[in-house]
Chain A
Amino acid sequence: MRVALTTVVLVAIGVILVMMVAEMPEFGAGKPASNEVSAHYVKNAVKETGASNFIAAIILDYRAYDTLGEVIVLFAGIAAVLVVLDVHKGGRGR
């Protein structure tokens, strides 16, 4: 029963992935949107964010959500490490 369920779920995920690959543009065809985005950053980042280091402009302005997630991941990782170390030492966690 479990094997059958797992097979069905995995096949479904596989089909979805193959469908996503089929949706992709052909290799080398047209003008991928990613090129336009990077060209936009190079051209407008300083003007739009006021930060002359435009790596900072990208990670903290255009993709600030991503960096927020990164900070939260860092926080969660450190919190887990601290809890495990504390319990290992016989403490009750902080």
Chain B
Amino acid sequence: MPDKILREITSLLLPFIQMYGIYVVFHGHLSPGGGFAGGMVLGVSLVLYILVFGLDSCLRKIPHHLSSALESFGTLWYAAVGFVGLLRGASFLMNKGAGIDVGTPGELFSGGLIFIITIGVGVKVASTMLSLFYTLVEED
């Protein structure tokens, strides 16, 4: 898109949008939000990038197969984290009961498995948005 104002404003805003998305994902266990909401903000920021700078420049940064792979990875990541509980002799997806250090409530690295799962969900939702948009706008 050749509109100069749109390009300048978008390149100014995008880092903040993506930083906010990452913030919402990483603080999922501390404040409102979490993997689903934060991943959606990240995914929408990538959609904005495609709309303003074109599909090709985004495909060069994140190829379609990479975003599809990340999507599967997010789901598998969640299930794989569940096995930590089993490996430690407790039940599937168990957190503190499996003897995992949950840290001090309120700190960034607290919540044990919740923090790790949230990141996986965030990656999954963001890449889902992106690969869905790729499929919708791609020409064959």
Residues of A at under 8 Å CB distance from B? 46-53, 55-57, 59-61, 64-65, 67-68, 71-72, 74-75, 78, 81-82, 85-86, 89-91, 94
Binding site for A on B (CB under 8 A): 27-32, 34, 65, 68, 71-72, 74-75, 78-79, 82, 92-93, 95-96, 102-106, 110-115, 117-118, 121, 124-125, 128, 131-132, 135-136, 140
Q: Contact between B132 and A75 (Cβ–Cβ < 8 Å)?
A: no
Whether the pair B29, A82 counts as a contact (CB closer than 8 A) is no
Which secondary structure characterizes the binding site on chain A? helix
- Assess the B132–A53 pair: CB atoms within 8 A: no
Number of A-B contacts (CB under 8 A): 110
Contacts of A72 in B (CB 8 A): 75
Residues from chain B with a CB closer than 8 A to the CB of A50 are 29, 96, 102-105, 110-112, 114
